[in-house]
Protein backbone atom coordinates (compact mmCIF):
# COMPACT_ATOMS: atom_id res chain seq x y z
CA UNK A 1 0.00 0.00 0.00
CA UNK A 2 1.34 3.37 -1.01
CA UNK A 3 0.40 6.35 1.17
CA UNK A 4 0.69 10.05 0.50
CA UNK A 5 -0.88 13.23 1.81
CA UNK A 6 -2.54 15.55 -0.68
CA UNK A 7 -4.22 18.78 0.40
CA UNK A 8 -7.00 19.38 -2.10
CA UNK A 9 -10.48 18.83 -0.62
CA UNK A 10 -12.16 17.62 2.53
CA UNK A 11 -12.17 14.07 3.89
CA UNK A 12 -9.86 11.08 3.74
CA UNK A 13 -10.14 8.93 0.65
CA UNK A 14 -8.13 6.62 -1.56
CA UNK A 15 -7.04 6.56 -5.16
CA UNK A 16 -6.54 3.30 -6.94
CA UNK A 17 -7.40 2.62 -10.55
CA UNK A 18 -4.67 0.03 -10.64
CA UNK A 19 -6.60 -3.19 -10.90
CA UNK A 20 -6.99 -5.33 -13.96
CA UNK A 21 -10.40 -6.23 -15.33
CA UNK A 22 -10.42 -9.52 -13.39
CA UNK A 23 -10.03 -7.73 -10.08
CA UNK A 24 -12.62 -4.97 -10.33
CA UNK A 25 -14.51 -6.13 -7.26
CA UNK A 26 -11.44 -7.07 -5.22
CA UNK A 27 -10.03 -3.56 -5.58
CA UNK A 28 -13.01 -2.27 -3.59
CA UNK A 29 -12.43 -4.49 -0.55
CA UNK A 30 -9.68 -2.53 1.20
CA UNK A 31 -11.35 0.89 0.80
CA UNK A 32 -14.62 -0.59 2.07
CA UNK A 33 -12.81 -2.11 5.05
CA UNK A 34 -11.32 1.34 5.70
CA UNK A 35 -14.82 2.83 5.55
CA UNK A 36 -16.00 0.23 8.08
CA UNK A 37 -13.02 0.78 10.42
CA UNK A 38 -12.75 4.58 10.21
CA UNK A 39 -15.64 6.93 10.91
CA UNK A 40 -14.22 9.64 8.67
CA UNK A 41 -12.87 7.69 5.68
CA UNK A 42 -14.89 8.66 2.62
CA UNK A 43 -15.43 5.75 0.25
CA UNK A 44 -17.61 7.89 -2.00
CA UNK A 45 -14.69 10.29 -2.59
CA UNK A 46 -12.37 7.43 -3.56
CA UNK A 47 -11.32 7.15 -7.18
CA UNK A 48 -10.82 3.90 -9.08
CA UNK A 49 -9.64 5.24 -12.42
CA UNK A 50 -6.13 5.78 -13.73
CA UNK A 51 -5.75 9.44 -14.56
CA UNK A 52 -3.44 10.31 -17.45
CA UNK A 53 -1.32 12.58 -15.24
CA UNK A 54 -0.85 9.74 -12.70
CA UNK A 55 0.50 7.11 -15.12
CA UNK A 56 4.12 7.81 -14.16
CA UNK A 57 3.53 7.54 -10.40
CA UNK A 58 5.09 4.73 -8.38
CA UNK A 59 1.62 3.38 -7.53
CA UNK A 60 0.64 2.89 -11.17
CA UNK A 61 4.07 1.61 -12.17
CA UNK A 62 4.04 -0.97 -9.35
CA UNK A 63 0.61 -2.12 -10.52
CA UNK A 64 1.79 -2.48 -14.09
CA UNK A 65 5.13 -4.13 -13.25
CA UNK A 66 3.95 -6.52 -10.52
CA UNK A 67 0.17 -6.78 -11.18
CA UNK A 68 -0.62 -5.50 -7.68
CA UNK A 69 -4.32 -5.34 -6.85
CA UNK A 70 -4.09 -3.37 -3.60
CA UNK A 71 -1.94 -0.41 -4.50
CA UNK A 72 -3.49 2.79 -3.12
CA UNK A 73 -2.72 6.38 -2.31
CA UNK A 74 -4.34 7.52 0.91
CA UNK A 75 -5.17 11.19 0.54
CA UNK A 76 -5.84 13.36 3.58
CA UNK A 77 -7.25 16.85 3.47
CA UNK A 78 -6.00 19.58 5.75
CA UNK A 79 -9.59 20.77 6.01
CA UNK A 80 -10.93 17.69 7.77
CA UNK A 81 -14.01 15.62 7.02
CA UNK A 82 -17.37 17.04 5.99
CA UNK A 83 -19.38 14.21 7.61
CA UNK A 84 -19.43 12.03 10.71
CA UNK A 85 -18.40 12.76 14.27
CA UNK A 86 -15.57 15.12 13.20
CA UNK A 87 -17.63 17.02 10.64
CA UNK A 88 -16.05 20.39 9.81
CA UNK A 89 -13.14 20.01 12.25
CA UNK A 90 -9.56 20.31 11.02
CA UNK A 91 -7.64 17.07 11.40
CA UNK A 92 -5.78 16.87 14.67
CA UNK A 93 -2.92 14.68 15.77
CA UNK A 94 -5.35 12.39 17.63
CA UNK A 95 -7.58 12.06 14.57
CA UNK A 96 -4.56 11.11 12.44
CA UNK A 97 -3.60 8.50 15.03
CA UNK A 98 -7.15 7.15 14.85
CA UNK A 99 -6.83 7.02 11.05
CA UNK A 100 -3.52 5.14 11.35
CA UNK A 101 -5.12 2.64 13.74
CA UNK A 102 -8.01 2.13 11.30
CA UNK A 103 -5.55 1.66 8.45
CA UNK A 104 -3.70 -1.04 10.43
CA UNK A 105 -6.98 -2.75 11.41
CA UNK A 106 -7.98 -2.78 7.75
CA UNK A 107 -4.68 -4.43 6.80
CA UNK A 108 -5.25 -7.01 9.53
CA UNK A 109 -8.81 -7.61 8.28
CA UNK A 110 -7.50 -8.14 4.72
CA UNK A 111 -4.95 -10.68 5.90
CA UNK A 112 -6.94 -12.43 8.62
CA UNK A 113 -6.81 -16.20 7.98
CA UNK A 114 -10.52 -16.31 8.86
CA UNK A 115 -11.34 -13.93 5.94
CA UNK A 116 -14.83 -13.34 7.37
CA UNK A 117 -14.69 -9.55 7.00
CA UNK A 118 -13.35 -9.85 3.44
CA UNK A 119 -16.12 -12.31 2.56
CA UNK A 120 -18.72 -10.04 4.15
CA UNK A 121 -17.35 -7.08 2.18
CA UNK A 122 -17.40 -9.07 -1.07
CA UNK A 123 -21.02 -10.01 -0.36
CA UNK A 124 -21.80 -6.32 0.23
CA UNK A 125 -20.22 -5.48 -3.12
CA UNK A 126 -22.26 -8.19 -4.86
CA UNK A 127 -25.49 -7.08 -3.16
CA UNK A 128 -24.92 -3.44 -4.07
CA UNK A 129 -24.22 -4.38 -7.68
CA UNK A 130 -27.37 -6.51 -7.85
CA UNK A 131 -29.81 -4.13 -6.14
CA UNK A 132 -28.23 -0.82 -7.12
CA UNK A 133 -26.24 1.46 -4.94
CA UNK A 134 -26.88 3.99 -2.21
CA UNK A 135 -25.36 7.48 -2.33
CA UNK A 136 -22.63 6.62 0.16
CA UNK A 137 -21.13 3.86 -2.00
CA UNK A 138 -21.76 4.97 -5.57
CA UNK A 139 -18.18 3.94 -6.49
CA UNK A 140 -19.13 0.25 -6.18
CA UNK A 141 -21.55 0.78 -9.04
CA UNK A 142 -18.98 2.71 -11.12
CA UNK A 143 -16.42 -0.07 -10.84
CA UNK A 144 -18.93 -2.83 -11.60
CA UNK A 145 -20.16 -0.96 -14.68
CA UNK A 146 -16.60 -0.68 -15.99
CA UNK A 147 -16.15 -4.44 -15.60
CA UNK A 148 -18.69 -5.25 -18.31
CA 128 to centroid of chain Cα atoms? 16
DSSP string, 26-47: GGGHHHHHHHHH-TTB-STT-B
29-37 helix and 116-131 helix, angle to the nearest 10 degrees: 110
75 is catalytic: yes
Q: What is the torsional sign of CA 44, 46, 52, 53?
A: positive
Nearest 5 degrees, angle CA 14-CA 123-CA 112?
70
What's the CA dihedral at 116, 121, 126, 127 to 10 degrees? 100
Q: How many CB atoms lie within 10 A of CB 99?
A: 20
93-111 helix and 116-131 helix, angle to the nearest 10 degrees: 90
Q: Which of 27, 65, 75, 87 is catalytic?
A: 75
Catalytic residue ranges: 75
Amino acid sequence: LNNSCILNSSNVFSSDGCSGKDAKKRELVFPLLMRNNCDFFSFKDSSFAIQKDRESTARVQLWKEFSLINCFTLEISFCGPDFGKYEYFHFTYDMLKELADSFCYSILDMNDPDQSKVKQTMEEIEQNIIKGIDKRDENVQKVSNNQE
